[in-house]
A = this chain, B = another copy of it.
Amino acid sequence: MLAFPPIAREPSNRVTSVDVARRAGVSQSTVSLVFSGKGQGRVSVATQDEVRRCARELGYRPNLAAQALRLGSSRAVALLVPDITNPFFARVLRGAQRAAQSAGYTVALVDTGNDRRWEQQSFEALRAGPVDGYLLFEVSPPEGLGPHEHIVLIEAKAPGRSSVRFDAEKGAADAFGHLVELGHRRIGHLAAVFDAPTFHLRNAARRRVLAEAGLDPDAQPRATTDIGIDAARAAAGPLLDARPTAVFCDDDIIAAGLYMAARERGVRIPRDLSVVGFDDMDFARVLDPPLTTVALDAELLGATAFELFEGQIAGRRTRATTVLPAELVVRESTAPPGS
């Protein structure tokens, strides 16, 4: 069992720096100096120790709201993601948090839940706390944000804004190239409906690689799907009717839906159908057979986004666009057709 400290007595009201000062027999300024670490050469070591001791005894914690008000900064940044339920985005959050932590920042998560009604969402975003900036994943900047706000776009771009993205073009090209090399001539695309740059890049790569292989991109089977395993499974049916020997899926979750549809129809992977995913999520290795997919370092994405934000704060007006690598990982869901 977890051991919890017993519920105890204790004054109910909030302890402030004034209380600490009174107890230590010093002024509030002194307490503030001690806690902000700016007491060097201004407050004697003995006094500092005494202040800290009193603070501990009283259970003092600085009031963050007051600090934020006074400093004009909360040392916090908001991260907006479309769906925190998707582990990919959770890893982005974790990467951002790790980077933020070492810079003394906090990341406030805003989960939009794939809700397109941006009016509400932007409102919620701003309610999420007094933040110094925004890391926006695949969403257009909410209305209320002025051009002077610190914003970093993730997997999106806008003029004059910093942004990070993966090299989706290269990742998708490698995936289609892999299928072409295996000898596939009928290569389907199970695409996400989203109107985000990364998906356009993937489709562009598809068209280029197929054309280079002497195939007509427009003649290849293609279907779009909403998010979620069930949506993907439903969308996969018609696609499989077109009898592709291989399918590229816009992400691993979609691939999982395709696995389900294939199983229901007795289509064996990779014997009857090769499948490639995108993201390399944890469960890609658990699928049977393990999924060939494009690996992305989600945590790096989050960390990089934070660092771009930090660069803006620091005054280096780096309106940079960073592109992160995407690597094809070949597992057992791909094989020559009819093997």
A interface list, Cβ under 8 A from B: 1-14, 59, 61, 63-66, 68-69, 72-74, 76, 84-87, 90-91, 93-94, 97, 101, 106, 108-109, 111, 113, 124, 126-130, 140-141, 144, 146-148, 156, 158-161, 195-197, 200, 229, 256-257, 259-260, 263, 282-283, 285-288
A196 contact set on B, CB distance < 8 A:
2
A109 contact set on B, CB distance < 8 A:
93, 108-109
Cα–Cα, bound, A285→B286 (Å)? 13
Q: Does B94 lie within 8 Å of A10, measured CB to CB?
A: no
A108 contact set on B, CB distance < 8 A:
108-109, 128-129
Contact sample, A vs B, 15 pairs, CB 8 Å cutoff: A2-B197, A10-B73, A63-B69, A65-B74, A76-B129, A84-B93, A101-B124, A106-B124, A108-B128, A108-B129, A229-B285, A257-B286, A259-B286, A260-B286, A286-B287
How many copies of this chain? 2
- Given A64-B127, A147-B10, A195-B2, verify A282-B229 contact (CB < 8 Å): yes
The 3 closest A-B pairs by CB, nearest first: A65-B68, A4-B158, A64-B130
A66 contact set on B, CB distance < 8 A:
65, 69
Q: Nearest Cβ in chain B — how far from A57, in angstroms? A: 13
